[in-house]
Structure 1
Amino acid sequence: MPGVSAAPTSPGAPQGSTRELLTLAGPLMLSNLAYTAVGFTDTLLMGRLGVVEVGAVGFANICLLTLVLLFRGSLNTASTFVARALGAGDAAGVRRWASVFLGSALVGVPLALVGPLLLDGLFALLRPEPGITAVARTYTHIRVWEIPVLLLGSAALSVMVGLGNTRTPMRLAWLVVVVNAALAVLFIFGLGWGVAGAAWAAVIAVTLQNGLALGLLGHLHGPRFGPFRLARPTRGELGSLARVSLPAGVTELADVSAFTAFQGVLSRLGPTELAASQIALQLASLGFLPAFALASATGSLLSRALGAGRPEVATRIGWRGTGLAAAFMGVLGVLFLTLPRPLIGLFSRSPEVLAVGTSVLAVMAAYQILDGVAIVLGGALGGAGDTRFRLIVTLTGAWLVMVLGASWLAPRYGVTGAWGAALAFITLAAVAYVLRFASGRWRSVRL
């Protein structure tokens, strides 16, 4: 990549301070809080329709994420390439990589066209209860139409993060909250569209957000780095994408598809178990979504430090981000242990859902700190371009430990047995990432 060996005095070089990390991560945390608010809104509204709708829409969202994540995960590495170029003071590299990733995002068009067939195949593979399948199918067949603009917007937002602009993504994320909530209430209850109304509200909100992201990228950063165009990668750039971006996308796909299969295991336990797990996940997102924000900020700053030739600063950034995430999620774990029924009761008053949800939160409380460590160090390794190691950990842990473990434990120990398998996977990932980051092998990875 041009400019990687630039002097460490590059103006794009970070200092590695906690304040710098939090300044970048803060707006991303608020962005992810917005996504949590969208999930909260949908869960609350579906709770007014019924227990089946709560579980089915949550399940449908996981299936949609599985469909797009190979491509979105790959596109999100735009921040790594752009940040490395920025740290090296290579404005032409910033412009070129941004254009390459925007051009690659056009894969969303054919994906949307075949999406309904792929989703139906996924439902047939996972075999949830017929009532859950019917609701999930209605929801997902509408939301596939947002995929083209979603992927273009994802590339644009990732470029912004690589450039250190996290405030614009934050504002756009909260725009989604407002638009989605207003339209969902109107469509679901005002027009009586039910689950289909929730889907159309999401399509409109997501399309607005990502369309604006694409326009604002050129408006805000074009004068310095642009013009940004839809470009085809060269053979050398394809090699870089294959080494770094493709493993990142496969990792995200393997992770979420494993979680989709895990959800399939839960769905076969019954609507109550699935609804309780979806509610517990919404609560857990208060911790892991901010941790993902810290992971993104850590990876971006770490990549800039490597581009500026400052590996010692990159190391400091990685450990500091990890410590912040572990502390934050530890507090959430305490709340899960001390206030489980009031938290579950925000979404459902069903005695069965309250009982099952309390047991799920108890297991989730046990892995909050480990989850924070795994998320941020995984993001740090991704920022360094060490994406193959993450892929190995995910394939080994998510599928062999979590999915196969849950398939064996769920019929014997119910929902807590299934979540115990998830706890084992998180523990494995955290230990593996700590050892890898401490080894320093990621410092020598080339983009």
Structure 2
Amino acid sequence: MSTLLAAWQHRPSHRRVWALAAPMILSNLSVPLVALVDSAVVGHLPHAHQLAAVAVGASLYTLLAWTVGFLRMGTTGFAAQAAGREDGGALRQVLCQGLLLAGSLALLLMLLALPFSGLALSLMQPSAALDGLARSYLHIRLLGLPAALASYALIGWLLGTQNARGPLAILLTTNLLNVALDLLFVLGLQWGVAGAAWASVLAEWSGALLGLYLARRALSAYVGRIDWPLLRRWASWRPLLAVNRDIFIRSLALQSVFFLVTVQGTRLGDATVAANALLLNGLLLTAHALDGLAHAVEALCGHALGARDRLALRRSLIVAAGWSLLASLGFALFFALVGHWFIALQTDIAVVRATAFVYLPYLALLPLIAVSSYLLDGLFIGATRAREMRDAMLLALLPSLALGWLLRPLGNHGLWLAFLAFMLLRSLSLGGYAYRLTRRDAWFGAPGPARPRPTDCPTE
């Protein structure tokens, strides 16, 4: 207990955590703000199927894009450790690899998206009106996918160098522009659901271009050159690809849960899937805010591991954990006390509001159940221990799917109970792996990226 208290009372650690967390919280909150504005703008159109179409189309796009979220998470861990070693060559290698992966995966996903969307919509069994609008929304959004994936890699790299202002600038530019264009295209120009999609595409490309500019500027602070011949060798890619493979499996499992919530909700009717989308916006708001602290853990713990500083690792983790717990309590109280206002803000469709109000208690419980999983994700990402993240997610997924099947007679209540169980099991399984690594003193045994040899080939 005295060790925990001493770490919590270390003021420089609080300053370091918040120097990274505050900008990331602000930028992260702009992400669910886009979903909220989409819901609020489209939710004030006359028909429930229009709001449901945005929810379904966005869910399909998110499943495609977020399953390759390893582009950010894998890049952050390796960049943070390279920064801790003051290895400018490795930093340049990680950035190049991240951007090359982003471009390749974007092309692959765009080719797979059309058959995937047809299969997914057939499983959902939507109404004809919802089906057509959802397909249109998704097809437009795919035009922004290369930019979205490039932004993942750029944000992860900048965060790994403990540059929180860069991600803040990228995300705020992307998401605030998205909001402005959403209002212009949907309400001003009356483009409807398609207008919401085009707003996202233009905003995503703007954010990616800004990110490239910021990364180029940030490299000037790190001396080093990239070894281009080494970059063409499989050995230099193996550590990054191994971590990204495991994070991909973990992300795919996580997004499958959200996708299945949408699928099952769609089968329960347009009003139910729309109501669940509004409630999940609340979870997105919570998750992105708490992820700001988790991102600070990624950068600070990765830096401490690269520098082999055990005391800094412990202090950063304890301080971020304390603030995460306080923030989760605040979100739980917010949804419990003013959740009706939160729902009413997003839509004036009476049947959707009434349906969402019934399930608000589940949303109020989610921050308390999920908070430790967000924080521990940050620790494992900073340590580039993706295998444990993958295994923990699979351990949570399998029993939750079985529970969801058993609870189908309860309708949407059963769906939400299974979702809460999934988030609880995710926290417990990650905690178990963290405890085991701590007992074995194994955190400093995490794999590191291949270090490039200096050459005469400058990067700039």
Q: Is the 2:301–2:382 contact (alpha carbons within 8 Å) kept by the matching residues of 1?
A: yes
How far apart, CA to CA, are the structure 2 residues paired with 1:418 and 1:229?
51
From 395, 399, 402, the equivalent of 2:400 is 402
Higher relative contact order, chain-length normalized (CA < 8 Å, sep 6+): 2
| Partner in structure 2 of residue 132 of structure 1 | 130
Matching residue of 2:458 = none
- State whether residues 100 and 233 of structure 1, in contact with CA within 8 Å, keep that contact through their aligned partners in structure 2: no
TM-score (norm 1): 0.90
Mapped partners of 2:145, 2:220: distance in 1: 25
2:257: which partner in 1? 258
- How far does the alpha carbon of each residue in 1:155-189 deviate from its partner, in whole angstroms, 9 at most, with x for none? 11211001111112212222223322232222223
Change (3 A) 1:70 1:323: same
Partner in structure 2 of residue 157 of structure 1: 155
The 3 A distance-change label for structure 1 pair 23 and 53 is: same
Q: State the partner residue of 1:3.
A: none
TM-score, normalised to structure 2, is: 0.87
* Partner residue, 1:427: 424
Partner SS state of residue 44, structure 2: helix
Alignment partner of 1:436 is 2:433: yes
Q: 1:114 to 1:354 in 2, by over 3 A?
A: closer
Once the two structures are superposed, residues 349-371 of structure 1 have per-residue CA deviations (whole angstroms, 9 ceiling, x without a partner) of 34433332123220122231221
After alignment, is 227-236 or 29-38 more displaced? 227-236
Decide whether the 8 Å contact of 1:381 with 1:442 is kept in 2. Answer: no
How far, CA to CA, are the matches of 2:353 and 2:72 in structure 1?
39
The whole-number CA distance in structure 2 between the counterparts of 1:15 and 1:98 is 32
The 3-state SS of whatever aligns with 2:407 is helix
* Counterpart in the other structure of 1:38: 34
Pick aligned residue for 2:24 from 18, 25, 28: 28
Partner of 1:181: 179
Distance 1:141 1:345, change over 3 A: same
The 3 A distance-change label for structure 1 pair 373 and 429 is same
Change (3 A) 1:300 1:127: farther
1:199–1:229 Cα change, 3 Å? farther
Matched residue type, 2:399? V
Q: After superposition, what is the alpha-carbon deviation per residue over 1:116-144, rounded to whole angstroms, capped at 9, x for unaligned? A: 23322332344344433222111000110
Q: Match of 1:224?
A: 222
Q: For residue 215 of structure 1, what is the aligned residue in structure 2? A: 213
Distance 2:252 2:103 in 1: 19
After the TM superposition, which residues 358-437 of structure 1 pair with which residues of structure 2 at under 5 Å, given as runs? 358-398=357-397, 400-410=398-408, 412-437=409-434
Q: Which residue of 2 aligns with 1:47?
A: 43
Paired residues of 2:31 and 2:175 also in contact (CA < 8 A): yes
Match in the other structure for 1:199: 197
Q: Which runs of 4+ in 1 moved over 6 A?
A: 226-231
Please show how residues 11-410 of structure 1 align to structure 2 within 5 Å.
Answer: 17-49=13-45, 50-107=47-104, 108-222=106-220, 224-225=222-223, 232=231, 234-398=233-397, 400-410=398-408
How far apart, in 1, do the equivalents of 2:352 and 2:223 lie? 52
- Determine helix, strand or coil for the equivalent of 2:384: coil
By how many angstroms is 1:269 displaced?
0.8
Aligned to 1:445: 446
Aligned length: 432
Give the whole-Å Cα distance in 1 for the aligned partners of 2:65 and 2:339: 33
Provide the residue aligned with 1:6 in structure 2: none
Q: Note closer, same or farther for the CA distance 1:74–1:219 as it changes in structure 2 (3 Å cut).
A: closer
CA deviations over 1:47-97 (Å, ceiling 9, x no partner): 122322222212221211211233332443111101101111212221222
> Which sections of structure 2, spanning at least 5 residues, go unmatched?
1-9, 449-460
Percent identity of paired positions between Structure 1 and Structure 2:
25
CA displacement at 1:391 relative to structure 2: 1.0
Does the 8 Å CA contact 2:69/2:152 hold for their aligned counterparts?
Answer: yes
Tell me how far apart the structure 1 counterparts of residues 227 and 141 of structure 2 sit (CA, whole Å).
Answer: 27
| Superimposed CA distance per residue, residues 411-443 of structure 1 (whole angstroms, 9 cap, x where no aligned partner) | x22222211111111111112222322331444
Deviations 1:365-384 (A, max 9, x none): 22312211111112211211
Segment of structure 1 superposing worse, 158-167 or 240-249: 240-249
SS at match of 1:17: helix
Instruction: Report the 3-state secondary structure (helix = DSSP H, G, I; strand = E; otherwise coil) of the residue aligned with 2:346.
Output: coil
Alignment CA distance shift 1:426-1:120 (3 Å):
same
Q: For the residues of structure 2 that align with 1:70 and 1:286, how far apart are their CA atoms? A: 19
Distance 1:79 1:197 in 2: 33
Change in 2 beyond 3 A, CA 1:57/1:430:
same
Mark the runs of 5 or more structure 1 residues left unpaired by the alignment.
Answer: 1-13
